[in-house]
Chains A and B, each alone.
Chain A
């Protein structure tokens, strides 16, 4: 297929998308910071994979004699290798034994800057699901803007047909809010069935700034100059690495005046750099006091300040207890942290 054919295929998208993008509407934007929308999608994929795994392994034994709310909580703990309370940033709520209609808060996790809640919503019918992949909509603190809540897993694992319950994930920003403060989240299904509101308390974030016993020096795959990992900020469900590199401006600076050839070369180099960063993250592990460990997924984006690049990297699980991390393992070497 030629590039022009591709261009024509994209040209055939629905009018509503074209009209929607004709002018940016900040009201449409989630109140969460830009990065959060991206993270929630990533999490969605993680959830989908984990939930699919649960089904494949037949862990659905929970279903016997257990209401849908407890079942979902147990599935989440199981899929992320967590026991309730093992990660301070992760909070699980008391739920009714029996299946209920309306909105039921299952759990919350504060990431220091954002909070995610996982809720069961009922009734959501098969017809609702047929209309759109994400039929549950929410708005924060009485706002008039409705966002689609992310389904926590694929339809098979997140939807319980018997109780017409869909498990969804909602993300919102917590900047300027204190732990204990309350946020009201309103829910509806496909904009037609109003399910009322849910009061959600901002939970405590769990963060820790760590330095390495010695810096880890890597080699930039594009420029072959050193890239030095000097530390990281561990958060409940994400780590923010701190990398020093002379090439930060090349990869992250504004090069809008580049010639076409330079722009193409730089774009290729950025892709190489991003993929290389992800390889480094995936090759690293965090070790805990109890001897267990966790890995990283790829990164979502990086903050940049001069030569300091700070990629935000997700763990391979929902949340960790940052106080229990004792060392970092990379390329067969273990680095203590303080």
Chain B
């Protein structure tokens, strides 16, 4: 079913909307949650909460990109749950992703206001626009979807070590870019 038709079902308050959404984007949502949360039970809870979140926000929301919309909700919910989890339930692979991100922006940089955070996000958007399709794909899969390097390699039919080096270079480029933009000291 087309995204527009699914959104229309939400507007009609038809429960079929959730079924269709799950059929079309359930795998993407579960994958996004599973990359952040280790436990299957947490992933399922997060998925159900995502559907509820979509149900509660459409209408009035009318997203242009439904997959971005649902994955963003799943990512946010999974992140909140991850933070509340005890160390025992934490996901080591996801910790690695966070560690890698920390290489781009030193911990000494303070983002105290929402405005500063928005400015940094806007700079990351501009940076992504400068990347080739594949560099951008790898970056977003790794640092937005939190995919493992081997998963990314599988998706693009590539080689894990090349992806690692590519990500390493892209992180370096992001660091330089943010510095040139005057956002890092």
Residues of A participating in the B interface, judged by any CB pair closer than 8 Å: 1-22, 24, 26, 28-30, 34-35, 37-38, 40-41, 132-134, 147, 251-254, 256, 259-260, 263-264, 267, 270-271, 274, 300-302, 304
Q: In the bound complex, do residue B137 and residue A21 qualify as a contact, i.e. CB atoms below 8 Å apart?
A: yes
Q: In the bound complex, do residue A38 and residue B169 qualify as a contact, i.e. CB atoms below 8 Å apart?
A: yes
The residue on A at minimum CB distance from B133 is: A28
Q: How far is B99's CA from A263's CA once the two chains are assembled, in angstroms?
A: 12
The residue on A at minimum CB distance from B67 is: A22
Q: How far is B95's CA from A58's CA once the two chains are assembled, in angstroms?
A: 50
Q: In the bound complex, do residue B136 and residue A21 qualify as a contact, i.e. CB atoms below 8 Å apart?
A: yes
Instruction: Identify which of B92, B100, B118, B145 contacts A260 (C-beta below 8 A).
Output: B92
With A21-B141, A267-B96 in contact, is A11–B76 under 8 Å at CB?
yes
The residue on A at minimum CB distance from B135 is: A37
With A10-B144, A274-B168 in contact, is A17–B107 under 8 Å at CB?
no
> B75, B134, B148: which has the most chain A beta carbons within 10 Å?
B134
Contacts of B162 in A (CB 8 A): 34-35, 301
Among B6-50, those with CB < 8 Å from A are: 28
In the complex, besides A4-B98, A8-B117, A41-B131, 20 extra interface pairs with C-beta distance below 8 angstroms are A6-B102, A7-B98, A11-B72, A13-B121, A14-B128, A19-B65, A19-B67, A19-B68, A21-B145, A22-B28, A37-B132, A252-B161, A256-B149, A256-B150, A267-B96, A270-B168, A274-B168, A300-B169, A301-B165, A301-B166
With A18-B67, A30-B132, A38-B166 in contact, is A13–B98 under 8 Å at CB?
no
Q: In the bound complex, do residue A17 and residue B125 qualify as a contact, i.e. CB atoms below 8 Å apart?
A: yes
Q: In the bound complex, do residue A2 and residue B145 qualify as a contact, i.e. CB atoms below 8 Å apart?
A: no
Instruction: Identify which of A12, A20, A132, A263 contacts B118 (C-beta below 8 A).
Output: A12
